[in-house]
Amino acid sequence: MAFHEKEVPADASAAVKLMAWVDSRLPVTDAFKRHMSEYYAPKNLNFFYIFGALAIVVLAIQIITGIFLVMNYKPDAAKAFESVEYIMREVPWGWLIRYMHSTGASMFFVVVYMHMFRGLIYGSYRKPRELIWIFGCAIFLCLMGEAFFGYLLPWGQMSYWGAQVIVNLFSAIPLIGPDLSLWLRGDYVVGDATLNRFFAFHVIAIPLVLIGLVAAHILALHEVGSNNPDGVEIKENLDANGHPVDGIPFHPYYSVHDVMYLGGFLMVFACIVFFAPEMGGYFLEANNFIPANPFVTPTHIAPVWYFTPFYSMLRATTTNFLLPLWIFLAIILGMFARSSSDKKVKGACAAIAVVLAAGFYFFDAKFWGVVIMGGSVVIMFFLPWLDKSPVKSIRYRPQFHKYIYGVFIVSFVILGYLGIEPPSPVFEKISQICTIYYLGFFLAMPFWSKLGTFKPVPTRVTFESH
């Protein structure tokens, strides 16, 4: 293909000529038009749609502050804690960079949880956005890995013992578990080799994957278009120019809109950084200001708040919980078998129930706790195929669907709270009930999501100017 220099008027300014020269070799202007000024988004997007943009900003904050932290951090078991103290006390503005990074980690999960919540209630995972949702869930998994590996780096008491507990969980996996745990640690105990491995994962490996997934997530979104609170596909109603009649250009309308909310978010972010960086121990635990000591175990080991819902499910899976859990799963399998007329499906459901019964008998509760903790995240990947509702948005679903979603959110928050608290018999029962509900929300979704009387979905988005 022949190269064509982009033509510009002879009297054009130097800036215009430079941009034309660049565009002839790299389509910067075309990319801006495709993804910003000529990307049409629904005109009825509400508050819940700002969190995707906020997540990108927080990712940028984490990368920038992380680069400055790495300049003075030493991934050495004998010097890691002291290097963090050096950053906090001696490096000019080091305390600010460290607190921005630690606060950013928690705020990242705040905006991501809100972003996922919006996708859940408005059906943003439904056709044709399945791949967007899958990329989003993969980003969430990467974030969890990034946060876990970064949590060890300060080499404080909670960092050390938290890593010890989580890495040891992998040993519960049959056959490969012990070798996997040994590989993650790099030694038979959490030590210098573990710190170096976690540092490599946190600084290089996972960020590269994360950036690639974010790019794929955005490209997939701009290919099929944004969802909206009504769940109406705006590309089905076009004007004479081929533009959606219910859409507006992302730039400048939503870019300015997001910048306004970004200002408010940054004010909250700054208040936390300057006045409450520890957030009462939820963002930075007191035990993590004590150097790691392999010979002194903290009285209560708990992960950071954004891991606690899944940690609660792990702790809830005790030996006496396996029988109720099997009964619950058998009921779900029975519902699948009853809803299908295919004998092969019925046989498969019966076989799975038998295999689960044998698994509960031969494998201990620790193994099943790891399975449930991991499965509680992995199951979200299948949400586009579990939801059988004829409508996308919660606005047009039956009233009892809203209660199901509400109880699900409450259960998730309760699990998060219980994961921070020391274990007790009462808390154990509550967490088991919430775990059953969490799993049932997804596993029973093919049945309850299509029940009830659904409201008619409008052909155009509902919008009131403001």
Reported as a single tens digit per residue, the pLDDT across 414-427 is 999 999 999 899 99
pLDDT score for 466: 57
pLDDT score for 243: 87
* 3-class SS letters over the chain: CCCCCCCCCCCCCHHHHHHHHHHHHCCHHHHHHHHHHCCEEECCCCHHHHHHHHHHHHHHHHHHHHHHHHCCCCCCCCCHHHHHHHHHHCCCCHHHHHHHHHHHHHHHHHHHHHHHHHHHHHCCCCCCCHHHHHHHHHHHHHHHHHHHHHHHCCCEHHHHHHHHHHHHHHHHCCCCHHHHHHHHHCCCCCCHHHHHHHHHHHHHHHHHHHHHHHHHHHHHHHHHCCCCCCCCCHHHCECCCCCECCEEEHHHHHHHHHHHHHHHHHHHHHHHHHHCCCHHHCCCCHHHHCECCCCCCCCCCCCCHHHHHHHHHHHHCCHHHHHHHHHHHHHHHHHHHHHCCCHHHHHHHHHHHHHHHHHHHHCCHHHHHHHHHHHHHHHHHHHHHHCCCCCCCHHHCCHHHHHHHHHHHHHHHHHHHHHHCCCCHHHHHHHHHHHHHHHHHHHCHHHHCCCCCCCCCCCCCCCCCC
Low-confidence winner among 55-59, 395-399, 461-465 (lowest mean pLDDT): 461-465
pLDDT score for 319: 92
pLDDT score for 1: 58
Output the pTM of the full model. 0.94
**Over residues 303-312, mean pLDDT:** 93
300 a known binding residue?
no
Chain mean pLDDT for the chain? 92
Low-confidence winner among 54-58, 184-188, 398-402, 424-428 (lowest mean pLDDT): 184-188
Digit-coded pLDDT (tens) for 373-417: 999 999 999 999 999 999 999 999 999 999 999 999 999 999 999
**Over residues 221-229, mean pLDDT:** 93
243 a known binding residue?
no
**Taking the domains of the chain in order of start, what are their residue ranges?**
26-299, 302-451
pLDDT score for 187: 86
Digit-coded pLDDT (tens) for 68-116: 999 999 999 999 999 999 999 999 999 999 999 999 999 999 999 999 9
Low-confidence winner among 25-29, 209-213, 287-291 (lowest mean pLDDT): 25-29
401 a known binding residue?
no
**In the chain, % of residues over pLDDT 70:** 99
At the fourth CATH level, the homologous superfamily of domain 302-451 is Cytochrome Bc1 Complex; Chain C (1.20.810.10)
Digit-coded pLDDT (tens) for 276-297: 999 988 899 888 999 999 888 8
User: Under CATH, which number does the domain 26-299 receive?
Assistant: 1.20.810.10
